Chains A and B, each alone.
Chain A
């Protein structure tokens, strides 16, 4: 099923989730490699790919949020305590915010540096800011701080997914994975279906 239900993520939501997760991994490698390379053609190419992929992630994140708005969101399992629910919602909100803010600050810092951004050598994007070296330096710091925040929040996010699957043994991970429909929410694996 393409659409979400109250019990499970639909195929399109799953595709968005795992595609973006994979692209984020590539994106971080490109960013770290690009920064480490000496000034040269390889650095230019690596950072250009980083920018193109970052803009792709921005587009996918916006589409994903749009799709989320017109779909039911699967309910969190009943065995979660209120503060756990709040933490889960907060984590997801921060992840969405970072999926927008990271590419935007990247685009802004390239604009401030006076290096226009292109999307895979196909379309040149407009500059978001006029040239300013101090602003560029500030935005680099913000971009890097956001990337570190993403790393921290993702650690929590992935740890929670592992805990749900292997310790709590609920369907949180399963309902984000393609395959057989999960058991009804809040049912322990030992319980009869």
Chain B
């Protein structure tokens, strides 16, 4: 975790007057990930057929009051379901996990929609930062006396926007450019 991220996470906790003003709406609980019950998958089209993989290690933090959604993904934790393909996807032509071990989404804007939100923000993936919009649904349920947040959504990225696919892999006829990212996050309320 970088220092700047730490600071950003701590800001809402600091009771400095200016910051309290800036986050006037920052009330209510903050939600953090229950990793064991959350999934983050990607699907792409290879030779006309959908192929799915997932990320096993990631963290997420949602602060509805402060309108902040942050997701950090350990890129080394992906699994495409095939050992040979894992080697290829982790290598330099695709995720290049040795050089870019982490991907991160930080929202800069959160807009309410029917049944949920659209988070607009920066996705940093494979060293490239791009603004993306992530629509998701949000429900808080009571689970045995605990407040549990369910954050579900889908967003479609273009892999070439982030350099995922170098050299011959830039062609999209047999390996589609569109990658559908699906997330079903289970989050627990924590004190602010």
- A113 close to B (CB within 8 Å): yes
B47 touches A44 (CB 8 A): yes
**1/0 contact string of A108-128 vs chain B (CB within 8 Å):** 000001111111111111000
Task: Digitize A30-74: 1 where CB-to-B-CB distance is under 8 Å, 0 elsewhere.
Answer: 000000000111101101100100000000000000000000000
**Which single member of B50, B82, B88, B171 contacts A113 (CB below 8 Å)?**
B82
What residues on B are CB-neighbors of A122 within 8 Å? 48
Q: Is the CB of B81 within 8 A of A120?
A: no
Chain B residues near A121 (CB-CB < 8 A): 47-48
Query: Could you tell me if A45 and B173 are in contact, using CB atoms closer than 8 angstroms?
Result: yes
**Given A39-B84, A39-B88, A131-B81: A115 and B171 interface contact (C-beta under 8 Å):** no
Query: Could you say which residues of chain B place their CB within 8 Å of the CB of A118?
Result: 47-49
Give the number of chain B interface residues (Cβ < 8 Å): 17
Interface size class of A (residues with CB under 8 A): 20 to 34
Interface residues in A57-116 (C-beta closer than 8 Å to B): 113-116
Complex alpha-carbon distance, A188 and B65, angstroms? 96
- Chain B, residues 149-192, CB within 8 Å of chain A (1/0): the string is 00000000000000000001101011100000000000000000
Look across to chain A and name the residue whose beta carbon is closest to the beta carbon of B168.
A41
CB distance from A77 to the nearest CB of B (A): 46
* B-side contacts of A119, CB under 8 Å: 48
Instruction: Tell me the minimal C-beta distance from B140 to chain A in angstroms.
Output: 36
Q: Is B46 an interface residue (CB 8 A)?
A: yes
Q: List 13 A-B contacts (CB under 8 A).
A: A39-B88, A41-B168, A41-B169, A41-B171, A44-B46, A47-B47, A114-B81, A115-B46, A116-B49, A116-B51, A121-B47, A122-B48, A125-B49
Known contacts A41-B174, A124-B50, A133-B83; 9 additional CB pairs below 8 A are: A40-B168, A45-B47, A45-B174, A51-B47, A113-B82, A115-B51, A117-B49, A118-B49, A122-B48
